[in-house]
Amino acid sequence: MSASRMALLVVALLPLAAAAASHRWSPLAEGEGSRGSLQSPRLQVGVVRAAPKGLPALAWEAEGDAWVSRFDAVSEGALGVRARLALDGTGPLELRVRGADGVVETMTLPAGTTQAWGPWTSGGTQVLEAWSESGPRGTVRVSGIAHFDRSLDAKAAGPCTLDAVCTTGTPALDAAIAERKKSMGRMTFVEGGGAFVCTGQLVESGPAGEDFFLTANHCIGTQEAASSLAVRWFYENATCGAGPVIPASVQTSGGMDVVFAEPNADMTLLRMRSAPPAGVTYTRLDSRKLAAGEFVVSLSHPTGDVAKWALASIEGEIRFSDWPQTAWLTRFSRGIIEGGSSGSGLYTQAADGSLVLRSILSATTLRNGSGLSCTNTGEFGVYNRLDVFLPEAAGYLSASGPPADDHGNRPSEATLVTLGASPVTVPGRIDTVGDVDVFRVIVPSKGVLVVRSSGGTDTVGLLLNRDGAGLEHNDDAETRSVDFGLTSSVTAGTYYLAVSRWESGGTGPYELQVEFQAIGDNFTDLWWIPSESGWGMNINQQSNIVFATLFTYAADGSPQWLVLSEGRLQADGSFSGTLYRTAGPAFGANPWSPAGVTLAAVGTMRIAFTGADNATLDYTLDGIAVAKNIERQRFASPATTCKWSVFDRSYAFNYQDLWWKPTESGWGINFTQQGTVLFATLFNYDEQGRNAWYAMTNGARVSGGTDRWSGALYRLTGPRFDAMPWTAVTPREVGTMSVDFTAGNQGTLSYTINGTSVTKSIERQAFAPLRPECESVSARE
C-alpha cells in the first residue's frame, strides 16, 4: 500500500474538515415533500432538489500526498440528506460524508464516473469530501440533493411489528432467522424526483466473485434507480423492542447493476459493484410452488425501520385483473409487513432447518380501503412467484450463463424491428423454459404501436420504455385465443418488447407482428355544456373517423337525435361531414327491419378539439346554424379515459362505447361509464316511427356479483335545438332499462317504454381498425 493510500485511510477515521464551499437549500414548500407527492407502490421518504444553475465546481486542495475537494450541502428541515455528484474527467476518488450524528460514511468512485449518489446521512447538513491520489484531475460538482422528510433512524414501524432479535418461541426457528436476517438489507435509492426505501436480500449464485441481490421490480426497475442504491446491512435492534442499533450495522453505497429485470413477475436481480460487508449470508432459492396453508416467514424493514420478522400462512393464489399471472396471498398471524417491506423475502424452513427464499413481496390487498397495518390486520400480503421468475433469471445465476437463442433476453441484447408502412412480421421461439425474447422498436412520432403474437403458443407481451421500465403488458388479447396483443399510445423514442411464455411454462414457436400508426388521442365520451343541461352529444372515435349522435329537441319540443355517421379528419385537425336525421320502425316492432329506416341529409357538422377536455361544435340543421363550446361531461368519479385497441375488447371491464345489433342497423345505444354509474342514451324511433331518444342517466350495478346494470328510463322534452338562451328541460320517466354484459364486447339490453317491453342482444359497433377501449382511472393521492 502506498504511503498516500495509508494516509487516506487514517484521515477517514478523523473528523472531516470544515468545507470551503457550501450551498443552502431553503425549506420545502407546502406540498413539495414526499407526503405531498403522488402515491407510489414503493415507500417515498424524500424528494430530489436540483442545485442552482451556475453552482461552481469544487476546488481541489493539496492534503499531504493527496488532493481533496470539500463542500457543505445544507437542506433546511431535512431529516436526512444524500448528495448527487456530477463528475467530469476524474480519476479514482473516495467520497466521505458526515451528517448530524458525526458518523463518517465512505464510498469509492472509479475513474471515469460521470454521476454518483453519495451515502445517506442524518440531519439537514452533509459535509462532503472527495479525495484523489491521482492529482487534481477533472471536476466535481454537487448537482443536487435528496431531501429526506422522513427519518431513516426513526422507529416508525407499527407497534404490532416484531424485531428480528425477538424470539418466536421456537429455538430452531430463532436460529434460522438469526442466520437469514444477515442476508437482508434496507435499501435507499433515488429515481425521478423522489427518494425511496425498500428491502432486498443477497442470494446464492454459481459465478465466483459475484454477489447478487434480489428485490422487487417496482422498487428497482431501471439502471437509474440501481445506480443510486445504498444498502444498510445488519440494521437491527440490540434487544427485543428496544435500541440501540447493533454496532455492526453498516452502509454500503455506490449502486448496483441490473442483471435481469422482470416487471411481470415484479422482481429484479442486481449485481453488487463491490463486496458486501463481512458477516453477511446468502439465501438459497427454492422455486417450487407454495401450497395453501403452508407456514411461511417474512423478514423485512417495515417503513425502513430495523429488521423485523412476521409469521404467516399461504391463503392461496389470486390473479388481479391487471396482472399477467397469479400471486400468493399470505395471512399474517404474528407481526406484519408495511411500506418499506416491498422487495422483501418470504421464506420456508428447509429440512436442514435453514430458511430458503420462496417469494418476493409486491403489495398488500386493499379490501378495506387501505393496506395491511396494525389497525387493519385483515388484509393479505401479496407475494409474486419465484417459480415464474427464477427460470428466466437462472442463467445469470449459473457459472455457464444463459444459453444462446434466437433473440436476446434483455434490452441490451434486443433484436431491432424496423417499422414499415405495413405490419412487420418476425418469427420467434421460446427455446428453453424461462427464455425471454426482447425486441427493440424505434417510434418516429406520437401514435399507436400495435404488437401481437400468433401461432397458439401461450405468450405474454411486455412493453418497456427506453430505460427498461415496464409500461404495459398483456397475456391474452381476446377470449378466443392465448395470443397476446398490445395497442399502446406512444411518443417518439425507443421502446422494447419482451415476449415470454405464460408463467414460464414451457417452450414453443410464435410469430410477432408489429405496426405503427400516427394518430392522436381518442375522444370517445359524452359531451355537453354545463349551463345547458338537457342536451348533449356522444362522440365515438375509431381511427380518424368520428361517429357523433347529437341529442336535442325539435321545434315542438319533442326529443330528436341527429347523427354525424362519418366525420372524417380534416387537414386542420377537425372532424366534419354530413349531418343526418332518420326515421324508422317503432322501437317495439318485431321483427324490426332496417329496410324501414330512411336517412335524410339535413346539414353539416364540424367538431374541433381544442384540448383534451374541450371542443367547439358547429352544425347546421335545415339551414339554421348553431355554434357551441362543449366539454366532457363528468358525472361520477373516477373519471373514464379511452385509449386505442385493435382487438375485440372481450376482456374489457369498462363498457363505454357505441353498441348496436348488427342485423338491425338504424338504431343503437351509447354507454358512458364513470365510476359506479352507467349513463345510457338510446337512439331509436317512437310509436309513430319518428326519430326519438331516451336516457338512463343513473344506471347502477345490480348487487350479487353480476355485471347487470339497471335504472329508470326517461324521455325528455325541451327548447328547440337553437334556443338562446337555453331553458330548462322536462324529464318524464317512461320505464326502466337494464343491460347484462356477458363479455367485454357482448350484452343483452332490456327496456320498457310506456308499457312496451323490448329485449335485444347487442355488441360493440366497430367501423374502423382502431377502436376505443376505456377505463376508469382514480386520481392518485
Convert the pLDDT of each residue in 626-652 to its tens digit.
999 999 999 999 989 999 999 999 999
N-term to C-term CA, the chain: 55
Given a cut of 50, whether residue 128 has pLDDT beyond it is yes
Phi-psi region of 476 (alpha: psi -120 to 50; beta: other; left: phi over 0): beta
pLDDT for 320: 87
Chain segment 396-410, per-residue pLDDT in tens: 999 888 888 999 999
The arithmetic mean of pLDDT across residues 412-422, rounded, is 96
Return the minimum-mean-pLDDT range out of 19-23, 387-391, 740-744: 19-23
Report the pLDDT averaged over residues 152-175. 96
In angstroms, the CA 464 to CA 470 distance is 4
The arithmetic mean of pLDDT across residues 512-535, rounded, is 98
CA distance 781 to 37: 8
Q: Which amino acid is at 166?
A: C
In angstroms, rounded to a whole number, what is the distance separating the alpha carbons of residues 490 and 472?
Answer: 11
Mean pLDDT across the stretch 216-240? 97
pLDDT at 10: 29
pLDDT tier for residue 19 given thresholds of 50, 70 and 90: low
- Cα atoms found within 13 Å of the Cα of residue 749, Cβ hemisphere only: 24
Q: Helix, strand, or coil here: 226?
A: helix
Confidence of residue 6 (pLDDT cuts 50, 70, 90): very low
Q: Max alpha carbon distance in the chain (Å)?
A: 104
Is pLDDT above 60 for 2? Answer: no
Across the beta sheet with 459-464, what order do the strands follow? 415-417, 436-443, 493-501, 459-464, 470-474
Q: Across-strand partners of 513?
A: 425, 452
Cα(386)–Cα(265) distance, integer angstroms: 8
Query: 377: closest CA among 158, 198, 169, 155?
Result: 158
Whether residue 4 has pLDDT greater than 80: no
**pLDDT at residue 776 in the model:** 83
> Do you know the residue count of the chain?
781
Confidence tier at 306 by pLDDT (50, 70, 90): very high
Residue 158 has pLDDT above 90, yes or no: yes
Q: pLDDT tier at 30 (50, 70, 90 boundaries)?
A: confident
Round the CA-based radius of gyration of the chain to a whole number and report it: 31
Domains and CATH numbers, the chain: 3-148 (2.60.120), 162-391 (2.40.10.120), 411-516 (2.60.120.380), 525-777 (no CATH)
Query: Mean of the pLDDT values across residues 680-703?
Result: 97
Cα angle for residues 7, 9, 13 (degrees, 5° grid): 110
Average pLDDT of span 763-778: 91
> Position 465: which residue type?
N
**φ, ψ (nearest 5 deg) of residue 722:** -105, 15
Whether the Cβ atoms of residue 70 and residue 166 lie closer than 8 Å to each other: no
Q: Which of 371, 381, 318 is nearest to 346 (CA)?
A: 381
3 state SS of 175: helix
Q: Is 18 helix (H, G, I), strand (E, B) or coil?
A: coil
β-strand 66-75 against 22-25: which pairing, if any?
parallel
Alpha helices (H) along 366-450:
386-397
3-state secondary structure of 223: helix
Partners of 639 in the beta sheet? 777
**Model confidence over 544-554: pLDDT tens digits?**
999 999 999 99
The pLDDT assigned to 35 comes to: 52
What percent of the chain lies above the pLDDT cut of 70? 96
Q: Which helix (H) or strand (E) holds 87?
A: strand 80-88
**Nearest Cα to 445, choosing from 524, 543, 520?**
520
CA–CA distance, 758 with 755 (Å, rounded to integer): 10
- What pLDDT, in 10s, does the model give residues 116-125? 999 999 999 9
Q: Parallel, antiparallel, or unpaired: how do β-strands 668-674 and 691-701 relate? A: unpaired
Region 56-72: mean pLDDT is 91
Please tell me which of 126-140, 491-505, 765-779 the model is most confident about, judged by mean pLDDT: 491-505
Q: How confident is the model at residue 780 (pLDDT cuts 50, 70, 90)?
A: very low
Q: Is the pLDDT of residue 27 over 90?
A: no
Helix, strand or coil, per DSSP, at residue 690: coil
Mean pLDDT over each residue of the chain, to the nearest integer: 93
Cα angle 193-197-203, degrees, rounded to a multiple of 5: 125
Q: How would residue 20 be classed by pLDDT, with cut points 50, 70 and 90?
A: low
* Residue 440: HSE in the Cβ half-sphere, 13 Å Cα cutoff: 15
Query: And the C-alpha cell for 689?
Result: 316511427
Whole-angstrom distance, CA of residue 74 vs CA of residue 78? 8
Contact (CB, 8 A) for 443 and 245: no
**pLDDT tier at 430 (50, 70, 90 boundaries)?**
very high
Give 480-520 pLDDT, tens digit per residue.
Answer: 999 999 999 999 999 999 999 999 989 999 999 999 999 99
